[in-house]
């Protein structure tokens, strides 16, 4: 899995525009949290490319870039959590889960049946 780092607010605008061409995910990660590390490892282990090859993954280090996380929460109307994974397509969130609720299989399902799935 090749992550693209999300480090500037302008990237968020570009990411939203990009989601009209291909689905994107944002993984919000706290580098000080063992649960966040465990969930990140699980996502990476289960991220086989079948059904997800067109999804572009973005990684957000929350400790370094908390204002971007707040901007995501505001722009997409999704309460901030950590760890958190948000799938965005056509400029809108299709899936938003946190902690151990993050499930790669459900991300694939959300891509097949585009209706918002939230905690």
Residue 83 belongs to domain with CATH number = 3.40.30.10
Is a pLDDT exceeding 50 seen at residue 105? yes
Per-residue confidence (pLDDT) for residue 113, from 0 to 100: 72
Number of domains in the chain: 1
Is a pLDDT exceeding 60 seen at residue 118? no
Tell me which residue range forms the domain holding 16. 4-118
Per-residue confidence (pLDDT) for residue 119, from 0 to 100: 47
Q: How far is CA 73 from CA 2, 37, 53, 78, in A?
A: 24, 21, 26, 5
pTM recorded for the entire structure = 0.91
Per-residue confidence (pLDDT) for residue 44, from 0 to 100: 94
- Average confidence score pLDDT of the chain: 91
Return the exposure string of 8-28: e unless at least 16 CB atoms fall within 10 Å of the residue's CB, then b: eeebbeebbebbeeebbbbbb
**Can you read off the two tokens belonging to residue 52?**
């997800």
Per-residue confidence (pLDDT) for residue 93, from 0 to 100: 94
d(CA 113, CA 119): 17
Residue 106, Cβ neighbours under 10 Å: how many?
15
d(CA 83, CA 98): 6
What digits encode the pLDDT tens for the residues 1-36?
A: 899 999 999 999 999 999 999 999 999 999 999 999
Stretch among 6-10, 34-38, 45-49, 85-89 having the lowest mean pLDDT: 45-49
């Amino acid at each position: 899995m090749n992550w693209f780092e999300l480090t500037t607010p302008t990237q968020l605008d570009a990411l939203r525009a990009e989601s009209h061409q291909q689905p994107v995910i944002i993984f919000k990660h706290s580098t000080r949290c063992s649960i966040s590390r465990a969930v990140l490892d699980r996502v990476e282990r289960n991220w086989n490319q079948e059904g997800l090859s067109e999804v572009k993954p973005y990684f957000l280090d929350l400790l370094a870039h908390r204002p971007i996380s707040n901007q995501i929460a505001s722009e997409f109307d999704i309460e901030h959590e950590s760890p958190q994974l948000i799938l965005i397509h056509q400029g809108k969130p299709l899936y938003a889960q946190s902690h151990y609720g993050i499930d790669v299989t459900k991300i694939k399902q959300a891509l097949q049946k585009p209706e918002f799935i939230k905690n």
